[in-house]
A and B are shown apart, each in its own frame.
Chain A
Amino acid sequence: MLKLLVRDFRVVRWDLWLHAVMAIPASRHAQALFVVGVALAIVLVVAVPGLEWMFDTDRFVCSLPVSRATLVLGRYLSAFVAVALSLAVWMGSAALLSRRFAGADPNLSQWVSLDGAVAYCVILTLVVALFLPCYFRYGLGKGAAVFAVGVMALGGVLAGLRWIVRAALGNVAPDLTAVDLDAARTLARFIWIAIVAAIATGSAALSVRFHRRREF
């Protein structure tokens, strides 16, 4: 699997430089820097499948002495390492720019925190967990379209759920006086991480199943 990881980063090593370069103009607005960081990480995650699609290398890759399951898990590993690397570059550039760059948004330092990192990882892990099964089932072109429709559908479902919860609990004012906010925050982080890890695991299992069924 490590070989697959090395291969992927040999193929798309240019993207990490983009992070650092794009961080400077984006740092004028903290949220913009966050969005740019997430977007470039997505580019990094999608870059190798994109190149494989563009150059039609599926047959070449699948003729290497690697099992389909390893190929899929290797792609997940690459995606998560890409997320971790992007996070490191993003956090590093945000921390550096908030201190050294006069034009940087003063709120920038708020994003350089555990919560900022969790938010970054949660978003990207969800993207990876939703995108890769679509890619392994349908290939890049159709897979990206299915992914986009899926994201929109999921957004609709979540918005609907939010509306229902608000409608149901609208008049209930939560009494937070008895809640230890630090403990609640920590618990919320763990719950988020557990949910996202479960989704990622399910996603990987689904991708392996899909890829085994594909013929080249």
Chain B
Amino acid sequence: MDTTLELKGVSKRYEDFSLSDVSFSLPRGYIMGLIGPNGAGKTTLVKLILNLVRRDGGEILAFGKDVRDDEIAVRSRIGFVHEAPTFYDHLSVERLASVVAPFYASWDAALFHRLARQFELPLKKVAWRLSRGTRTKLALALALAHRAELLVLDEPTSGLDPVFRRELLDHLLACIEDGRTSVLFSTHITSDLDRVADYVTFIQKGRILFSSPKDTLQERWAVVKGGPELLTDELRRLLRGVEVGEFGFTALTDDVDAVRRRLGRLPVVIEQASFEDVMVHLR
């Protein structure tokens, strides 16, 4: 399988935070969701991929090329949408497109206009008068109009109303239909992943906890609920993120068979974990 993006042992140190040994890969033609709580390192990771911050170690390859050594070639094939997109706000949508277009050899003006119609972008309106959702759509149109092969979106759905959010996610699904475009988007809204992601990478405190196909993850993790008397030390060893309440415990496990063997016919509930369960229990 062709790989669009590959990170190998990437690290970045700040005074109060560090990313350590980040490795994952995104196959061509798929959508990967990068999830994690606020401050987990998602935005730093996105910036590293775009070479907006310098990495301290490791390797980041996009289309088989190092994003630092082949910066221009790589960036010309990447489309970037930030959580709060910034533009020259005093320019109209149309003029902004004309400012961005010359930087991309593959810019397709007809495609931009088609996307503008589809996204209902007001071409004559100055950027500062656009709503938060419309700005995100404009950023997406600018990213798509140069026929980007990798879309990198940093929390694109954050702060959008549900209608806009669904529309945006549907656009992402439409993007990968050609089989050549891949999407990496960071989010802490787990329902976005359920809707569009093929792969999920979970980052927490600067470390990757897992990165695998969505279906595998959903098969792997389960939520275990039971009475407090069942929570022995032996059982605890099979569980993660145990939360004990007045009426019982809730925890996550990635070894359902072992838990079943251990608990036998005892009254427990074992159910498939949602991404939210995984995020909450692994935080």
Interface residues of A (CB under 8 A from B): 3, 6-7, 10-11, 51-52, 55-57, 59-60, 62-67, 215-216
Q: How far is the CB of B2 from chain A (nearest CB, A)?
A: 22
In the complex the two chains form, what is the Cα distance from A6 to B95 in whole Å? 12
- Beta-carbon contact of A65 and B99 below 8 Å: no
Task: Tell me, yes or no, whether B132 is within 8 Å of chain A by CB.
Answer: no
Q: Which 6 A-B pairs have the closest CB atoms?
A: A65-B76, A65-B75, A215-B53, A3-B102, A216-B52, A63-B80
| Chain B 85-135 residues near chain A, CB threshold 8 A | 85-91, 95, 98-100, 102-104
Other-chain contact of B86, A57, A64, A67 (Cβ < 8 Å):
A57
A67 and B71 alpha carbons, distance in the complex (Å): 7
Cβ-defined contact, A60 with B104, below 8 A: no
Contact B86 A6 (CB under 8 A): no
Report yes or no: A63 in contact with B50, Cβ–Cβ below 8 A.
yes
A50-B53 Cα distance, complex, nearest whole Å:
22
Residue in A closest to B12 when the chains form the complex, CB atoms? A215
Which chain A positions have C-beta within 8 A of B80?
63
Q: Distance in Å from the Cβ of B151 to the closest Cβ of chain A?
A: 12
Q: Can you list 11 residue pairs at the A/B interface with Cβ under 8 Å?
A: A3-B102, A7-B102, A51-B88, A59-B86, A60-B87, A63-B52, A65-B71, A65-B73, A215-B54, A216-B47, A216-B52
Contact partner of A10 among B82, B86, B95, B104, CB < 8 A? B95
Residue numbers in B under 8 Å from A56 (CB-CB): 86
Q: Closest CB-CB distance, A78 to chain B, in whole Å? A: 13
Please state if A215 and B47 are interface contacts (CB–CB under 8 Å). yes
Complex Cα distance A7/B88, Å? 11
Which residues of chain B are near A60, meaning CB under 8 Å? 82, 85-87
Interface size class of B (residues with CB under 8 A): 20 to 34
Chain A facing B: main interface SS? helix
Q: Are A10 and B47 in contact (CB under 8 A)?
A: no
Knowing A63-B52, A65-B76 touch, does A10 contact B87 (C-beta < 8 A)? no
Give B90's nearest chain A residue, CB to CB.
A51
B72 touches A67 (CB 8 A): yes
Whole-angstrom distance between the Cβ of A193 and the nearest chain B Cβ = 32
Given contacts A7-B99, A56-B86, A59-B86, contact A65 B53 (CB under 8 A): no
A62 and B82 CA atoms in complex are apart in Å by 12
How far does the alpha carbon of A56 sit from the alpha carbon of B53 in the complex, in Å?
A: 16
A216: B residues at CB distance < 8 A: 47, 52-53
Establish whether residues A65 and B103, one from each chain, have CB atoms under 8 Å apart when the complex forms. yes
In B52-75, the 8 Å CB interface with A consists of 52-54, 71-73, 75
CB pair A63–B75 under 8 Å, yes or no, is yes
Report the separation of the CA atoms of residues A10 and B95 in the bound assembly, to the nearest whole angstrom. Answer: 9
A65 and B52 alpha carbons, distance in the complex (Å): 12
Query: Closest residue to A212 on the B side, CB-wise?
Result: B54
- What's the Cα separation between A65 and B62 when bound, in Å? 14
A151 to chain B, nearest CB (A): 28
CB distance from B105 to the nearest CB of A (A): 9
Among A10, A57, A215, the one with the most B-chain Cβ atoms within 10 Å of its Cβ is: A215
Residue of B nearest to A52 (CB): B88
Inter-subunit contact B103/A55 (CB<8 Å): no
CB distance from A66 to the nearest CB of B (A): 6
* B-chain residues with CB within 8 Å of residue A59 when the two chains form the complex: 52, 82, 86
Residues in A whose Cβ lies below 8 Å from that of B87: 55, 57, 60
- Known: A64-B75, A65-B72, A67-B71. Is A3-B103 also a contact (CB below 8 A)? yes
Within the complex, what minimum Cβ distance (angstroms) separates B181 from chain A? Answer: 17
A52 to chain B, nearest CB (A): 8
Q: Restricting to B17-70, which residues have a CB under 8 Å from any CB of A?
A: 47, 50, 52-54
A64 touches B98 (CB 8 A): no
In the bound assembly, the distance between CA atoms of A64 and B76 in angstroms comes to 7
B47 contact set on A, CB distance < 8 A: 215-216
Q: Are B53 and A66 neighbours in the complex by a CB distance under 8 Å?
A: no
Nearest A-chain residue to B44, judged by Cβ: A215
User: In the complex, what distance in Å separates the CA atom of A57 from the CA atom of B52?
Assistant: 13
Evaluate contact between A64 and B103: CB separation under 8 angstroms.
yes
Given contacts A51-B90, A215-B52, A216-B47, contact A6 B102 (CB under 8 A): yes
> How many angstroms between the C-alpha atoms of A215 and B72 in the bound complex?
17
Q: Note all chain A residues with C-beta closer than 8 A to B90.
A: 51, 55
